[in-house]
Amino acid sequence: MKCVVGIDLGSTTTKAVLIDEEGRPLSRGITNSRSNYGVASAAALADARTAARFSFLERAIQGSTGVDSNEARAALPRLFEAFRLELHLDELTALRDAIHVELDRNLLRRVNKSVLGPAADLVIEDAKGEAPKLFAPGAERRSEFFRDLAAAAFIAGAEKLARKDGTPFEPLVGLFDRAILEVETRLRPRNEESLLRRGLSRVETAPVVRAILEVAIGRAVTEPLEEVAFAGTGYGRQTLPFPKPAVRSEILCHGRGAHRMYPGTRTVLDIGGQDTKGIQVDEHGVVTSFQMNDRCAAGCGRYLGYIADELGLGLHELGPLALQATRAVNINSTCTVFAGAELRERLSLGQKREDILAGLHRGIMLRAMSILARSGGVKNEFTFTGGVCRNAMAVKLLRGLIAESYGSDIVVNIDPDSIFMGALGAALYALDDLRAGHPQLLPTFEPTGMLPPPGMGGECANCESSHDSAHQHH
């Protein structure tokens, strides 16, 4: 199958979307943006390619009929989680190997590696033993990203050893911190067939259903997947390896992606990791004007991430906790620099975490509403994109503020998958290039996942270099 690729390289997460030659969505992938943007792009694309294989797998099963085929289709979600578990276990093995490389480099001279090596091995083995619980049906994971899951497991294991036999906690965690950087800056080859078959061995099902799945796996992993055009966008777009014509404005991509998903869209709000954008589009999805915040990340995803770290919570836990508030504490500033100090001060005064978080969320959404107003207001329909669209409290406040300011008849489109809007818009621009006969092709990723040096990408000089200023796009 031929497909085109859109990549949205954000400051917090990197997304990839594959669509076919008719413009129909095929698959998508997401990863944390890591310490190396090149590897993040390659990892998101690898995730999307894997998801495409699951689409092929489902299609292969649809070729069969009968009760057994229905059971095989019903087993696919369990197979997907088992696949993810096997991938997670492989990454834990890579982490263990990286830890021993760090020990051999003798970076931690103060502590004998004969102590830290066995301790790290024990922690990794415990993490592997607990991993199936993270990927069990219906299990809630604190994060979808390996670094977050591995860090939580490693720190818990290190604390356990420190209490048990006095294993030095700080050097052990410091070893993890060094090793995880090595793991994240290298993209290891992914044998999808092996991972799928290992995953299938974990899925309890009837022999005849297992046989159907085995045949479908064989078909899915051998079906050709040819990527014939690429486009990229996002905060780190200048580091993408695409030719200059294939690097597109975030504003254009979010506007177009939102319009594609919801054709009635006329106003778009995108709150990402580093910026907030209010965008107006016409009936064709063409951007007519926009406004952005200044270069400070106040009120964006990075700010919420910092608050989560201060409270020892996962980012996904902030919204639900804020929804439990009985009142919203008035927050003086949404500045990331001073957020921790103000948060600690209010907690010391006895104010509840949920009430503080409610105030923080309200401040963020009021800031976003101001940007929307400067862009031209909210017109029917309104679509919310970016990572913050997954925050339940932000969504609740936004709906209320739009109804209060612009009327309750405004159609509001909010979906957790709106985080992929930018990548979808980029893929649609790649499809335009393909149909026009000048597709942009992606250079081959190196085995380490490293990309060619920055500077190959491009950006309209006026599109996003001047924040807080409207700009016409045609």
Residue among 88, 84, 75, 86 nearest 203 (CA): 75
Q: Got the DSSP string for 410-474?
A: S-EEE-GGGGGHHHHHHHHHHHHHHHTT----PPPPPTT---PPTTS----TTTSSSTT------
Q: Give me the count of residues in the chain.
A: 474
Q: Please give the share of the chain, as a percent, with pLDDT higher than 70.
A: 88
> Would the CA dihedral through 294, 296, 298, 300 be positive or negative?
positive
What confidence score (pLDDT) does residue 457 get? Answer: 35
- What CATH number has the domain spanning 265-410? 3.30.420.40
Residue pair 225/212 in contact (Cβ under 8 Å)? The answer is no
Residue-wise pLDDT for 60-94, tens only, equals 888 666 678 889 999 999 999 999 999 999 999 99
Alpha-helical segments (H) within 223-294: 250-261
- For residue 384, pLDDT over 60 is answered with yes
Average of per-residue pLDDT values in the chain: 86
d(CA 398, CA 366): 8
What confidence score (pLDDT) does residue 115 get? Answer: 87
The better pLDDT of the pair 145, 85 is held by 85
Residue-wise pLDDT for 211-252, tens only, equals 999 999 999 999 999 999 999 999 888 888 778 889 999 999
What confidence score (pLDDT) does residue 249 get? Answer: 93
Q: Where are the domains of the chain?
A: 265-410
Average pLDDT score over residue span 342-346: 80
Token pair in block for residue 422: 């930018």
d(CA 112, CA 119): 11
Residue 350 makes CB contacts below 8 A (sequence gap 6+) with none
Distances in Å between the alpha carbon of 417 and those of 29, 55, 353, 397, 452?
11, 17, 28, 19, 30
Q: Please give the share of the chain, as a percent, with pLDDT higher than 90.
A: 58
What confidence score (pLDDT) does residue 297 get? Answer: 57
| Local confidence band at 170 (pLDDT 50, 70, 90 cut-offs) | very high
State phi, psi for 334 to the nearest 5 degrees.
-105, 25
- For residue 423, pLDDT over 80 is answered with yes
- For residue 107, pLDDT over 80 is answered with no
Residue among 11, 25, 13 nearest 431 (CA): 25
Residue pair 293/467 in contact (Cβ under 8 Å)? The answer is yes
Residue-wise pLDDT for 276-320, tens only, equals 999 999 999 999 999 988 656 566 777 787 888 788 777 778 889
Q: CB under 8 Å, gap of 24 or more: what pairs does 133-138 form?
A: 134/85, 134/88, 135/81, 135/82, 135/84, 135/85, 135/88, 136/81, 137/77, 137/78, 137/81
The better pLDDT of the pair 411, 346 is held by 411
Average pLDDT score over residue span 195-201: 96
CA 450 remoteness from chain centre: 19
CB neighbourhood size of 436 (10 A): 9
d(CA 34, CA 11): 9
The better pLDDT of the pair 11, 429 is held by 429
d(CA 54, CA 58): 6
